[in-house]
């Protein structure tokens, strides 16, 4: 299943040169959100272990700061400005990256405050910050939207749909440490989302380069193998 996710993102990277950076950015924010949610659920009392976990989140945020600065410069490369559609989508992307950078700056400084307060002798984190949870979730949403933002409109439509109803669910399944009930409850929805997407690509209703079609066919074969295995186990 991890191979399916990786190969799907590989197709995105082949569809636009900025997508490698946008996917990396999305994955970092997803990792940060997952760690933050776990920290809030597990760390009410101040401990060295909890401070270490919060420091790890802080380091991800610092890394994101560097990535955003590099991405902001890359977006304005002249080679990407080929049409009005490109210009409009790139300017919109630049605005989204600015928003992410500003939200991340706010996040960095709030985590610094929480860490400083944790060393003042109190036994509990005084504020585990609902606002920061909301900020990280917004960052995650922006980063997810960005990964398809530079695709041609017809490709963007089908890729957005399959990512939202198929790939994102697989990522969630893996983050939930392969909770089989999560997968089984969504099996019909997952299969429908993937088959609808693959049919449009395979029949040429939506055009993508042949090297992308080839990778998507590999994913299709992998998914069918997983589906057979899951249904076989379910029937036992």
Mean pLDDT calculated for residue range 189-194: 95
Query: Which 3-state string (H, E, C) describes the chain?
Result: CHHHHHHHHHHHHHHCCCHHHHHHHHHHHHHHHHHHHHHHHHCCECCHHHHHHHHHHHHHHHHHHHHHHHHHHHHCCHHHCCCHHHHHHHHHHHHHHHHHHHHHHHHHHHHHHHHHHCCCCCCECCCCCHHHHHHHHHHHHHHHHHCCCCCCHHHHHHHHHHHHHHHHHHHHHHHCCCCHHHHHHCHHHHHHHHHHHHHHHHCCCCCCCHHHHHHHHHHHHHHHHHHHHHHHHHHC
pLDDT, one tens digit per residue, over 122-166 is 656 655 568 889 999 999 999 999 999 999 999 999 999 999 999
Tokens of 211: 């090297």
Tokens of 51: 């401070």
More confident residue, 117 or 15: 15
At 126 the pLDDT is 54
CA angle 214, 220, 225 (to 5 degrees): 135
Mean pLDDT calculated for residue range 191-200: 97
Mean pLDDT calculated for residue range 2-31: 96
pTM (two decimals): 0.90
Dist. CA 175–CA 42, nearest whole Å: 16
Dist. CA 72–CA 95, nearest whole Å: 9
Dist. CA 65–CA 101, nearest whole Å: 7
At 186 the pLDDT is 86
């Amino acid at each position: 299943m991890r191979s399916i996710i990786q190969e799907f993102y590989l197709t995105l990277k082949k569809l636009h040169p900025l997508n490698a950076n946008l996917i990396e950015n999305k994955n970092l924010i997803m990792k940060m959100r997952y760690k933050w949610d776990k920290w809030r659920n597990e760390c009410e009392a101040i401990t060295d272990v909890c401070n270490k976990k919060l420091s790890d989140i802080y380091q991800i945020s610092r890394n994101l700061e560097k990535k955003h600065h590099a991405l902001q410069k890359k977006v304005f490369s002249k080679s990407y400005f080929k049409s009005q559609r490109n210009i409009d989508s790139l300017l919109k992307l630049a605005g989204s990256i600015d928003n992410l950078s500003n939200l991340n700056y706010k996040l960095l400084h709030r985590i610094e405050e929480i860490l400083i307060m944790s060393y003042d002798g109190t036994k509990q984190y005084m504020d585990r910050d609902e606002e920061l949870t909301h900020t990280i979730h917004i960052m995650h949403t922006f980063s997810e939207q960005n990964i398809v933002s530079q695709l041609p409109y017809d490709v963007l439509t089908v890729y957005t749909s399959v990512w939202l109803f198929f790939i994102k669910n697989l990522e969630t399944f893996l983050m939930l440490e392969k909770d089989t009930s999560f997968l089984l409850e969504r099996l019909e929805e997952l299969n429908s989302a993937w088959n609808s997407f693959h049919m449009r690509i395979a029949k040429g209703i939506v055009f993508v380069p042949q090297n992308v079609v080839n990778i998507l066919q590999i994913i299709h074969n992998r998914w069918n193998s997983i589906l057979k295995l899951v249904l076989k186990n379910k029937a036992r």
